[in-house]
A = this chain, B = another copy of it.
Amino acid sequence: MSSPYPPIGPVVGVVGAGQLARMTQPPAIALGIELRVLANTAEESAARVIVDTRFGDYRKLADLREFALGCDVITFDHEHVPTEHIRELIADGHAVHPGPDALVHAQDKAVMRQRLTEIGAPCPPWARVSGPGDVEQFAAEHGWPVVLKAVRGGYDGRGVWVCRDAAQAEEAFAGGVPLMAEAFVPFERELAVLVARSPHGQGVSYPVVETVQQDGICVEVLAPAPLLDPEDAAQAQRIALKIAHELGVTGLLAVEMFETDRGLIVNELAMRPHNSGHWTIEGSGTSQFEQHLRAVLDLPLGAPTMTAPYAVMVNLLGGDDPDLFKRYEHVMAHDPGVKVHFYGKEVRPGRKIGHVTALGKDLDEVRARARHAAVYLTTGEYT
């Protein structure tokens, strides 16, 4: 539905109406920025909380064109909008951030690896592969296992196959999607660096965080990454800012990295607010969602300083019981400082339906508090 009133503030159009768009609404409200989202249905997470929700298909240029009318800038809740449509919007005179030449690196893993290799960002050995034969040849040089990844469309662990032999590689190709190969990286832990870059070239980096994954889904984020060597932290931030600059990213860039005994390796890129940055809502002077708005509007960026020595974010993954609210009572009584976020999504097993954040001085205690709240909210069990 379109706005029933003329906008007072700048209008930011977000393509997609998931929880990232939803969590962008609070800082938009604070700053008087008018958020508009392109949703599929009125039940989507952001559609429930944004007055100016429009409906349409992000894969259709006509829908995007209609959505863009009256927006001061267009940005994204996800990375699936075809770059050729983005080029058309820009040709129509719209500001779109991130732009297509940057965004393609978050859409196409082979293009990303090619470019990162060119600019000297640390990558695992990799190759474009068109069949099991190519994978065997890659393995002959780099050893098994070989990680095969869908060049496009992978998400939360989907589209990734860790193959221990040629037979498993053959299975991965059975899906018919274009794949690329990467050497398996034995890593100590996973890190993520969130940076913002604005069209006029300002860049800021949040502290490096540790992300904990289960079955390819991020379940926990520790900010800052505990016991990380300060030189490694600085290098991780330099790498992320360099990627943002070289790729011309505008808005947020999340760089997922492996910490290995031979240094840092870039794993994945995302060009939008990112699960590894949800802790910034309470844990930083500027939340990633406010930062993204500032960046795409080409406003000066906010301070990324932390509000407490440690912040721990734990995702809420849906369980069997759809009624989270009855569990608020224990969690809030048990810990008056824990912050609960629920995305207004129907609870389904394994689905990301919210997160909790705890802040404090003692990492172990902060982590235990966040975990207690998350486990109780999703299962009703005490930890």
**When the two chains form their complex, are residues A332 and B5 in contact, meaning their CB atoms are under 8 A apart?**
no
- CB pair A32 B337 closer than 8 Å: no
Question: Contact between A336 and B8 (Cβ–Cβ < 8 Å)?
Answer: no
Please judge, given known A-B contacts A25-B29, A26-B29, A324-B32, whether A337 and B49 are in contact too, CB under 8 Å: no
Within the assembled complex, what's the spacing in Å between the Cα atoms of A337 and B336? 26
Is B31 within 8 A of A340, CB to CB? Answer: yes
Number of copies: 2
Q: Is A329 in contact with chain B by the CB < 8 A criterion?
A: yes
Contacts of A282 in B (CB 8 A): 285
CB contacts (< 8 Å) of A301 on chain B: these are 332, 336
Known: A325-B10, A344-B8. A303 touches B336 (CB 8 A): yes
Do B31 and A342 have beta carbons less than 8 Å apart?
Answer: yes
Bound-state Cα–Cα, A340 to B336, Å: 27
Instruction: Give the complex CA separation of A333 and B26 in angstroms.
Output: 21
Assuming A336-B301, A336-B302, is B286 touching A8 (CB within 8 A)? no
| Binary CB contact string for chain A from 17 to 34 against chain B (1 if under 8 A, 0 otherwise) | 000001101100111101
Residues of A bordering B, CB below 8 Å? 1, 4-5, 8-10, 22-23, 25-26, 29-32, 34, 42-43, 48-51, 53, 281-282, 285-286, 294, 299-303, 305, 307-308, 324-325, 328-329, 332-333, 336-337, 339-346, 354, 359
User: What are 22 contact pairs spanning A and B, CB under 8 A?
Assistant: A9-B325, A22-B29, A23-B29, A23-B30, A25-B25, A25-B26, A25-B29, A26-B30, A30-B342, A31-B328, A31-B340, A31-B341, A32-B342, A50-B51, A51-B51, A285-B359, A294-B332, A299-B328, A301-B336, A302-B337, A303-B336, A303-B337
